[in-house]
């Protein structure tokens, strides 16, 4: 099920007819204990412990599970099994990618080239984009959600997103970055939806956003507030200062005076990172999930 979900996302970016998919169970599942020992003999413990998170834990005295040492070997052996020419990964995978080169050489193979890319911060502007942190923009999400989440990113991230995910050429990137922040984010949001869902979907997503927000005269600058439990709207209203008490917050909701992203919210509504929470006509906060 997970694999099919991955394919649905990959298909939005790559032509699967030109891709050969291999499952590493093809070569890992049949390995005996002797095979594993022979593989581990290709490197030293000192080499493995150079990995940054291992080194940090060694310094702090934090535990390193014995099984964790196997992971770099198994990933490196993937490169051996498919005779990889190039491996792509984020900066957090640099050690593993380089380790793969060393293991390939020990098997008499030409070492792979590696392409390392920066990690993209999530919509909260603080931590790397992650589904588990709730600060992500999903490739397969509805166009309206992709557009709206992109519009919610902090202004300081516009350049990072434009450089890393827009797919625009350098001149087009410069044009977007020369715009006012709100206009730049709108251009970026349009481009992302266009890349994933097409020009017509991008147009509709922009119209939907304008209908929900701009025509409601959303303020140019919205203060960000962090909430501990995004599933408790009453508590979130109190935490953000939009409600003076739980009773007041509940009353606001029941009277139809609370909106999330321009839509009236009921007491069971859940917040997501980047949502705009509104109480009354003129009080707005942008939600960050902490």
Can you tell me the mean pLDDT for 205-229? 81
The answer to whether residues 208 and 229 belong to one domain is no
For the chain, what is the domain count?
Answer: 3
pLDDT at position 216, please? Answer: 62
Residue 75 — very low, low, confident or very high, per pLDDT cuts 50/70/90?
Answer: very high
Is residue 219 situated within a structural domain? no
Average pLDDT of the chain, as a whole number: 92
Identify the DSSP state of 278. Answer: E
Is residue 6 situated within a structural domain? yes
The answer to whether residues 8 and 71 belong to one domain is yes
pLDDT at position 180, please? Answer: 94
The answer to whether residues 174 and 276 belong to one domain is no
The answer to whether residues 207 and 234 belong to one domain is no
pLDDT at position 212, please? Answer: 73
Is residue 125 situated within a structural domain? no
Q: Given a cut of 80, is residue 217 above it in pLDDT?
A: no
Is residue 122 situated within a structural domain? no
Residue 34 — very low, low, confident or very high, per pLDDT cuts 50/70/90?
Answer: very high
CB 10 within 8 A of CB 16: yes
Last residue of a domain, one of 156, 191, 212: 212
The answer to whether residues 160 and 109 belong to one domain is no
- Give 58's strand partners: none
Whole-angstrom CA distances from 167 to 81, 198, 203, 235 are: 32, 14, 18, 40
Is residue 57 situated within a structural domain? yes
What is the sign, positive or negative, of the torsion defined by CA atoms of 128, 130, 133, 137?
positive
CB 153 within 8 A of CB 165: no
Decide: helix, strand or coil at residue 224: strand
Q: Which domain holds residue 284?
A: 224-289
Of 7-21, 51-65, 94-108, 204-218, the range with the lowest mean pLDDT is 204-218
CA-closest candidate to residue 137, choices 157, 121, 126: 121
Is residue 167 situated within a structural domain? yes
Task: Say whether pTM exceeds 0.75.
Answer: no
Residue 215 — very low, low, confident or very high, per pLDDT cuts 50/70/90?
Answer: low
Look up the CATH number of the domain holding residue 46. Answer: 3.40.50.620
pLDDT at position 28, please? Answer: 96
Last residue of a domain, one of 117, 134, 169: 117
Last residue of a domain, one of 191, 212, 233: 212
Of 85-89, 98-102, 254-258, 281-285, the range with the lowest mean pLDDT is 281-285
Is residue 165 situated within a structural domain? yes
Query: Is pLDDT larger for residue 8 or for residue 216?
Result: 8
The answer to whether residues 112 and 67 belong to one domain is yes
The answer to whether residues 95 and 185 belong to one domain is no
Can you tell me the mean pLDDT for 13-18? 90
Residue 187 — very low, low, confident or very high, per pLDDT cuts 50/70/90?
Answer: very high
pLDDT at position 1, please? Answer: 63
Look up the CATH number of the domain holding residue 206. Answer: 1.10.240.10
CA dihedral 19, 130, 207, 271 (to 10 degrees): 150
pLDDT at position 218, please? Answer: 66
The answer to whether residues 206 and 229 belong to one domain is no
Q: Given a cut of 90, is residue 68 above it in pLDDT?
A: yes
Query: Is pLDDT larger for residue 124 or for residue 108?
Result: 108
CA-closest candidate to residue 51, choices 72, 76, 78: 72
The answer to whether residues 197 and 250 belong to one domain is no
pLDDT at position 124, please? Answer: 87
pLDDT at position 282, please? Answer: 76
Return d(Cα 188, Cα 266) in angstroms, integer: 31
* Secondary-structure percent of the chain, ordered helix, strand, coil, rounded to 5: 50, 10, 40
List, for residues 92-114, the tens digit of each pLDDT value.
999 999 999 999 999 999 999 99
Q: Quick one: three-class SS letters along 95-158?
A: HHHHHHHHHHHHCCCCCCEEEEECCCECCCCCCECCCCCCCCCCCCCCHHHHHHHHHCCCHHHH
The answer to whether residues 29 and 102 belong to one domain is yes
Q: Given a cut of 70, is residue 214 above it in pLDDT?
A: no
Return d(Cα 216, Cα 213) in angstroms, integer: 5
> What are the contacts of 279-286 at 24+ separation with CB within 8 A?
279/237, 279/242, 279/243, 279/252, 280/252, 283/242, 284/218, 284/219, 284/222, 284/223, 285/222, 285/223, 285/224, 285/225, 285/240, 285/241, 285/242, 286/152, 286/222, 286/223, 286/224, 286/225
The Cβ of residue 257 has, within 10 Å, a number of other Cβ atoms equal to 16
The answer to whether residues 262 and 179 belong to one domain is no
CB 249 within 8 A of CB 238: yes
Is residue 137 situated within a structural domain? no
Can you tell me the mean pLDDT for 103-130? 95
List, for residues 241-278, the tens digit of each pLDDT value.
999 899 989 999 998 889 998 888 999 999 999 999 99
The sheet with strand 224-227 has its strands ordered as 224-227, 283-289, 276-279, 258-260, 263-264
Look up the CATH number of the domain holding residue 228. Answer: 3.10.290.10
The answer to whether residues 54 and 100 belong to one domain is yes
Query: Is pLDDT larger for residue 119 or for residue 208?
Result: 119
């Amino acid at each position: 099920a997970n694999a099919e979900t991955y394919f649905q996302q990959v298909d939005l970016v790559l032509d699967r007819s030109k891709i050969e998919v291999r499952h590493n169970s093809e070569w890992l599942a049949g390995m005996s204990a002797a095979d594993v020992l022979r593989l581990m003999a290709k490197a030293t413990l000192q080499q493995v412990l150079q990995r940054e998170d291992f080194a940090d834990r060694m310094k702090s005295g934090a535990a390193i599970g014995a099984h964790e040492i196997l992971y770099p070997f198994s990933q490196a052996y993937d490169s051996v099994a498919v005779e990889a020419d190039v491996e792509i990964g984020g900066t957090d995978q640099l050690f593993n990618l380089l380790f793969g080169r060393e293991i390939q050489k020990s098997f008499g193979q030409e070492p792979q080239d590696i392409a390392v890319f920066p990690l993209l911060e999530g919509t909260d502007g603080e931590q790397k984009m992650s589904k588990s942190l709730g600060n992500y923009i999903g490739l397969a999400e509805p166009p309206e959600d992709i557009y709206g989440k992109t519009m919610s990113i902090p202004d300081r991230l516009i350049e990072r997103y434009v450089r890393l995910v827009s797919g625009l050429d350098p001149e087009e990137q410069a044009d977007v970055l020369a715009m006012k922040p709100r206009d730049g984010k709108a251009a970026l949001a349009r481009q992302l939806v266009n890349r994933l869902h097409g020009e017509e979907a991008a147009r509709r997503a922009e119209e939907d956003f304008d209908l929900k927000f701009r025509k409601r005269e959303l303020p140019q600058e919205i203060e960000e507030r962090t909430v501990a439990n995004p599933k408790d709207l009453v508590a979130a209203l109190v935490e953000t200062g939009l409600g003076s008490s739980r009773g007041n917050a509940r009353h606001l909701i029941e009277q139809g005076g609370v909106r999330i992203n321009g839509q009236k919210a009921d007491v069971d509504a859940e917040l997501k990172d980047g949502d705009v929470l509104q109480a009354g006509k003129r009080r707005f906060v942008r939600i960050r999930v902490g």
